[in-house]
Structure 1
């Protein structure tokens, strides 16, 4: 037998055997009963840190960020560019930030926008998102409208601001 034909035959046999037996990779796995440790910290100490110190309107209360805007005139529109800061302290991964609002005053709080050196100033966090790299931050602002029919601050009210963060 010719040596070249023998080597070709052995190679074909090996390739056919691997195809028939599979590659050894798995397509699914279930691994149970593993320990997971997590700690819960205040907003200003978390991996995605919410920092109230950039604004007179934000405080830390019960470990959570709280924004309080007082003494607005009726039939007015106010824009606040720095209500609080979101800082990415989460290791090596960039984070995509967006937001949603709900509550009684969400119609009066017109939009939440991003400001800072690492984003396009004024990008809407409600209809769009921004990406911040590790160690970077974005300041979050809002426009508040007190015009009749849009929203009313008579007697105060609440709105919830939810931050959505996904690995970019």
Structure 2
């Protein structure tokens, strides 16, 4: 073999090997990092849920001892539809717009309707925006002492904004 062809061949082999090995690609990596994640009350969270600054908000809504938001309506008329406007506020305190929806849960959850209807699709809240929510409760067919609903679960999703 001539020396010149050998040197050129050796150079091509070296550059091909460097290209294959030196790309910086990897299949997996594991790294431990510190993280600080804390639970906060509903009134301080990214999706703030708080009593509306109204008579109905003052009467029916507030923060429980454990920091969660609660609505308490003790005396509903039987076989009636009760409308309570402006009970609580849902506010986006995060750093991006989100779609918000809610799911009323419990044995008789279908007796409760939210206004606006956060159960039938996503409502978009921009950063710092809020919506004030009222309740309609239909006790038709319920008996004295029946629980109407025990939870309203909220979901916020930036991809739905």
The equivalences for 1:26-41 within 5 A come to 29-41=28-40
Q: Assess if the C-alpha contact under 8 Å between 2:94 and 2:127 holds in 1.
A: yes
Q: From the superposition, tell whether residues 53 and 143 of structure 1 become closer, same or farther in structure 2 (CA, over 3 Å).
A: closer
Match of 1:126 in 2: 119
Q: Does 1:154 align with 2:144?
A: yes
- The CA distance in 2 between the partners of 1:153 and 1:137, in whole Å, is 35
Say which SS state the counterpart of residue 44 (structure 1) adopts: coil
Q: How many residues align?
A: 137
| Deviation (angstroms), 1:27 | 8.7
Say which SS state the counterpart of residue 96 (structure 1) adopts: strand
- The CA distance in 2 between the partners of 1:85 and 1:162, in whole Å, is 14
Moved over 6 A (4+): none
Note the aligned Cα RMSD (angstroms). 2.6
Match of 1:112 in 2: 114
Instruction: Provide the TM-score with structure 1 as the length reference.
Output: 0.70
Say which SS state the counterpart of residue 107 (structure 1) adopts: helix
Identify unmatched segments of 5+ residues in structure 1.
Answer: 1-16, 115-123
Identify unmatched segments of 5+ residues in structure 2.
Answer: 1-15
Q: From the superposition, tell whether residues 147 and 25 of structure 1 become closer, same or farther in structure 2 (CA, over 3 Å).
A: farther
**Bigger Cα Rg:** 2
Match of 1:52 in 2: 51
Say which SS state the counterpart of residue 73 (structure 1) adopts: coil
- The CA distance in 2 between the partners of 1:66 and 1:106, in whole Å, is 16
